[in-house]
Amino acid sequence: MSGCLATIYDLTTRHRFETKVQVEGVSATYFEIPLDVRALFTRARPPVRVTIKSHTYRSTVAVYGGPYFLPLNKTNREAAGVAAGDVIEVDLQADEDIRSVDMPADLASALEGSPEAQANQITRTSAVTTSPAATTLRLASDI
């Protein structure tokens, strides 16, 4: 066996911590992750599943020169029953599921009128689906 080392992490491991919901400006809410995200998830900006109380949502970790952060928009704050200034308990878990977005009907209709644009979109879609956490677009006719 060679001396090759591989980093393997368990996608089912939940990392629990306590943090404070912060606000910047009028309504930009977020919280800091007091963990070494790169060490736990093998990269600085991993896609994650965030659970606050009984509410779970999907997001991607942000890092700005040091601390790691996660956004907490109005929909997720209300669903979790939290507000800026609250101290919250968070469960964080890796999220390697493919992220997809259904193409709006008006865009699909516009693409149908242009075979070149449609061919280009199909090429772009197949290119981004090679990543396990990629965001993809699907033609409405494929749904």
Whichever domain contains 73, its CATH number is 2.40.30.100
83 and 36, same domain (yes or no): yes
Instruction: Report the length, in residues, of the chain.
Output: 143
Domain match, 123 and 57 both: no
Bigger pLDDT: 27 or 52?
52
Residue 134 has pLDDT above 50, yes or no: no
What domain range includes position 103?
Answer: 99-142
Strand partners, 15: 92
**What tens digit of pLDDT does each residue of 64-85 get?**
888 999 999 999 999 999 999 9
15-24 and 87-94 as β-strands: parallel, antiparallel, unpaired?
antiparallel
Per-residue pLDDT at 54: 96
pTM above 0.75, yes or no: no
Tell whether 43 and 109 lie within a shared domain. Answer: no
On whether both 79 and 136 belong to a single domain, the answer is no
pLDDT for 122: 55
Token duo for residue 107: 């865009």
Q: Are residues 131 and 76 in the same domain?
A: no
Tell me: pLDDT of 1 over 90.
no
Q: Are residues 46 and 75 in the same domain?
A: yes
Residues 66 and 90 in one domain: yes
What secondary structure letter does DSSP report for 103? P
**86 and 33 in a common domain:** yes
Number of domains in the chain: 2
| β-sheet bridge partners, residue 104 | none
